[in-house]
């Protein structure tokens, strides 16, 4: 049990409700919606933290919450209007998952929000339903252990079935549970370890070295971004899995590289730091807004060219190394983006895989003989990962798998049976990612 706290400030629940309504209407993704709402509402850090927990937690557990609420409404949750459903979900989430908030406070704020946004009748309805939820929990009538795994861990059936097919039933439970936990804040630093630790100590921030990548750190608080070290560009936010992809690329000084789908630029920046002013990087993306952001992100480096380019169009150039971090279903990022599991449909996966194959068959032409192509996706599906590479190698026998580079990374826990990188939140504590290193034969 967590330590009880006083009632959270008013406003956080209303803002969380607005964010969830926007995400549900597909007007925004969760993180941009939270940023915009925080700025509009001038939220305090405390309010902002509560808003984040309410909105992301409710999205993570929405299927389980709906099952609980459905049993407390005579005609079922589906009989209520959408705005009312989100008020009930946020209230129920606090009752079953945030024991540091008194139940009376959670119910009262939900009732008042219903009164303000809807009417007195809606307020009475919310009060009755949430008190019913409270009674079920107190009487131990709510038995989550009796739920199916997909409902318990709030996954669409098709997605959970894919996990079982890939991992087996026992490990699928661990994988489904892991994506409902918030991701750690991970940074990559160019500072010496001792200097980075000293900076953390001076800022009152705790940090821990990541498990696999030498320059990766898990840090405790985003106040890190108000330090002089951040202003100087001494560290950047980058999940450990994304850092591993760049290590797999094995950039050598003097290399000529192409980062095909480069936005927002974290991997490009990592590559440029490895080049240390030598060689050249072409960083491209197909969207004007993303290209503008890329230029801003990479503005401190001179040996980079940023341009708008559709990777499906072949280039009249050859490169030592090409990185294709392809558009994908992004199911490996559910810890950060829980809304994705409710937006994706099973029919999306073969469509994504077809687009990825088109990109692969185009950009591979730009790899020189003896050069390296990295294919990477931040997802966990078979079709977008192992099956994609298997099909590519059948179509392009002039490519072969390349072993990961020896050096600072211990790869043995990170590779699948084919020797490709495949990492999972529940196994490795990072985003779900697949990456294959492919060498063009001489």
In tens digits, the chain (442 residues) has pLDDT values of 343 333 444 588 999 999 999 999 987 899 999 888 878 887 787 888 899 999 999 999 999 999 999 999 999 999 999 999 999 999 999 999 998 899 999 999 999 999 999 999 999 999 999 999 999 998 888 899 899 999 999 999 999 999 999 999 999 999 999 999 999 999 999 999 999 999 889 888 899 999 999 999 999 877 787 888 888 888 889 999 999 999 999 999 999 999 999 999 999 999 999 999 999 999 999 999 999 999 999 999 999 999 999 999 888 889 999 999 999 999 999 999 999 999 999 999 999 999 999 999 999 999 999 999 999 999 999 999 999 999 999 999 999 999 999 988 999 999 999 999 999 999 999 999 999 999 999 9
User: CA dihedral defined by 300, 306, 311, 315, rounded to 10 degrees?
Assistant: -120
Q: 240-440 sits in which CATH class?
A: alpha beta
Which residue is listed with tokens 């630029």? 265
Overall residue count recorded for the chain in this entry: 442
Q: Give the Cα-Cα-Cα angle 79, 338, 291 (nearest 5 degrees).
A: 125
pLDDT of 9 reads: 41
For the chain, where do the domains classified as CATH 3.40.50.150 start and end? 240-440
Quickly list H helices, 118-256: 120-138, 149-152, 157-167, 169-178, 193-203, 228-232, 240-249
For the chain, where do the domains classified as CATH 3.30.70.1170 start and end? 185-237
Question: Which of helix, strand or coil describes residue 360?
Answer: helix
Q: Which helix (H) or strand (E) holds 289?
A: helix 288-297
The strands making up 185-189's β-sheet, listed across from edge to edge, are 207-209, 216-219, 185-189, 235-237
Residue pair 163/176 in contact by the 8 Å Cβ criterion: yes
Report the C-alpha gap between 220 and 208 in whole angstroms: 9
Quickly list H helices, 25-156: 30-41, 45-60, 62-70, 82-97, 103-117, 120-138, 149-152
Strand 319-325 to strand 367-377: parallel, antiparallel, or no bridges (unpaired)? parallel
Report the C-alpha gap between 55 and 48 in whole angstroms: 11
Write the CB contacts of 297 (distance below 8 Å, at least 6 apart in sequence).
Answer: 264, 265, 266, 268, 269
Residue pair 91/374 in contact by the 8 Å Cβ criterion: no
For helices 62-70 and 120-138, the axis angle rounded to 10 degrees is: 100
Question: Residue 400 phi/psi, 5° resolution?
Answer: -145, 160
Domain 12-147 has CATH 1.10.940.10: yes
Write the CB contacts of 129 (distance below 8 Å, at least 6 apart in sequence).
Answer: 69, 72, 73, 88
pLDDT of 256 reads: 98
For the chain, where do the domains classified as CATH 1.10.940.10 start and end? 12-147
Q: Is the preceding peptide bond at 179 cis, omega within 30 degrees of 0?
A: no
Terminal Cα-to-Cα distance of the chain (whole angstroms): 62
Of 420, 432, 417, 391, nearest to 162 by C-alpha is 432
Quickly list H helices, 330-395: 340-343, 348-363, 386-395
Q: Which residues are tagged catalytic? A: 378
Report the C-alpha gap between 425 and 227 in whole angstroms: 29
Question: Which of helix, strand or coil describes residue 330?
Answer: coil
pLDDT of 125 reads: 97
Q: What is the CATH number of domain 185-237?
A: 3.30.70.1170
């Amino acid at each position: 049990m967590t330590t009880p706290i006083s009632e959270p400030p008013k406003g956080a629940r209303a803002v969380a409700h607005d964010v969830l309504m926007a995400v549900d209407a597909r007007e925004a993704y969760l993180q941009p919606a939270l940023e915009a709402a925080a700025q509009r509402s001038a939220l305090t850090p405390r309010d902002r933290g509560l808003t984040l927990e309410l909105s992301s937690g409710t999205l993570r557990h929405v299927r389980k919450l709906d099952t609980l609420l459905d049993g407390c409404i005579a005609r079922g949750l589906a009989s209520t209007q959408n705005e009312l459903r989100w008020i009930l979900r946020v209230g129920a989430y606090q009752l079953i998952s945030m024991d540091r908030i008194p139940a009376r406070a959670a119910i009262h704020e939900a009732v008042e929000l219903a009164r303000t946004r809807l009417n007195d009748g809606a307020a009475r309805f919310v009060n009755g339903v949430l008190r019913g939820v409270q009674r079920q929990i107190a009487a131990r009538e709510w038995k989550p252990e009796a739920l199916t795994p997909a409902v318990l861990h709030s996954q669409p059936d098709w997605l959970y079935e894919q996990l079982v097919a890939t991992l087996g039933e026992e490990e699928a439970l661990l994988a489904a549970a892991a994506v409902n936990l918030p991701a750690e804040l991970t940074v990559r630093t160019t500072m010496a370890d001792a200097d980075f630790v000293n900076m953390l100590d001076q800022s009152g921030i705790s940090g821990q070295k990541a498990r696999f990548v030498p320059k990766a750190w898990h840090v405790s608080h985003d106040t890190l971004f108000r330090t002089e070290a951040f202003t100087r560009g001494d560290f950047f936010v980058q999940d450990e899995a994304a850092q591993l992809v760049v290590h797999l690329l094995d950039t050598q000084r003097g290399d000529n590289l192409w980062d095909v789908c480069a936005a927002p630029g974290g991997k490009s920046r990592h590559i440029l730091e490895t080049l240390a002013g030598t060689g050249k990087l072409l960083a491209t993306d197909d969207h004007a807004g993303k290209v503008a952001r890329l230029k801003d992100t990479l503005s401190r480096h001179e040996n980079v060219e940023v341009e708008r380019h559709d990777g499906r169009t072949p280039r009249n150039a050859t490169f030592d190394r090409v990185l294709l971090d392809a558009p994908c279903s992004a199911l490996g990022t559910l810890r950060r983006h829980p809304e994705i599991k409710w937006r994706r449909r099973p029919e999306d996966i073969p469509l994504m895989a077809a687009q990825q194959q088109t990109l692969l068959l185009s950009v591979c032409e730009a790899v020189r003989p003896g050069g390296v192509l990295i294919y990477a996706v931040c997802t966990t599906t078979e079709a977008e990962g192992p099956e994609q590479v298997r099909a590519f190698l059948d179509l392009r026998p002039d490519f072969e798998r390349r072993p990961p580079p020896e050096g600072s990374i211990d790869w043995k826990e990170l590779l699948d049976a084919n020797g490709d990188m495949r990492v999972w939140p529940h196994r490795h504590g990072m985003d779900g990612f697949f990456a294959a290193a492919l060498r063009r034969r001489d």
